[in-house]
């Protein structure tokens, strides 16, 4: 008869003892402080900051698009009316712009333009920070500086 190998049973720690009593608590995932900081920043960024940034960007670009339509009435039917560098667009020639959502895409690389509207789920933190960081005629210097700092460093340096 073949012998059976013993089954290892792992018992949970004493659940009646309150955590921290005479023990140093460690992350069960073995994360160091730097990684924990990045996790917290990521959670706060995506759950708190990005929803508000999306509303702000949507509102601002909607207003700026209306202003551009007044200055350039054929912006929705004719391409090449705007100088890309002047506005911070990354395209070489500005195409016809139907609405502020399409205008937002002019700041972004193609792989970042999968959203239909600024307020939808496909418009993410990277898109928001890129637009805020490059919209020369749309956002203040301080806003652009903070967006670029957050995008590259994971934090905004307070002055």
pLDDT at 94: 92
3-state SS string for 51-109: HHHHHHHHHHHHHHHHHHHHHCCCCCCCCCCCCHHHHCCCCCCCCCCCCHHHHHHCCCC
Low-confidence ranges of the chain (pLDDT < 50): 9-12, 15, 22-24, 159
pLDDT at 15: 47
73-86 per-residue burial string, b: 16 or more CB within 10 A, e: under 16: eebeeeeebbeeee
- pLDDT tens per residue, range 58-81: 999 999 999 999 999 999 999 988
pLDDT at 22: 47
Task: Indicate the domain borders of the chain.
Answer: 51-153
pLDDT at 65: 96
pLDDT at 11: 46
pTM value is: 0.75
3-class DSSP assignment, residue 31: coil
pLDDT at 26: 53
pLDDT at 20: 52
């Amino acid at each position: 008869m073949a012998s059976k190998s013993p089954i290892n049973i792992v018992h949970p720690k004493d659940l009646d003892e309150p955590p921290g009593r005479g023990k140093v608590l460690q992350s069960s995932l073995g994360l160091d402080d730097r990684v924990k900081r990045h996790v917290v920043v990521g959670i706060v960024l995506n759950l708190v900051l990005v929803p508000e940034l999306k509303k702000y960007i949507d509102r601002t670009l909607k207003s700026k698009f209306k202003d551009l339509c007044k200055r350039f009435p054929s912006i929705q039917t004719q391409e090449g009316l705007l100088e890309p560098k002047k506005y911070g667009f990354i395209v070489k020639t500005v195409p016809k712009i139907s609405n502020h959502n399409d205008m937002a895409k002019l700041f972004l690389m193609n792989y970042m333009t999968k959203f239909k509207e600024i307020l939808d789920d496909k418009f993410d933190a990277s898109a928001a920070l890129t637009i805020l960081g490059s919209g020369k005629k749309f956002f203040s210097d301080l806003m652009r500086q903070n967006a670029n700092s957050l995008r590259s460093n994971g934090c905004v340096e307070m002055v």
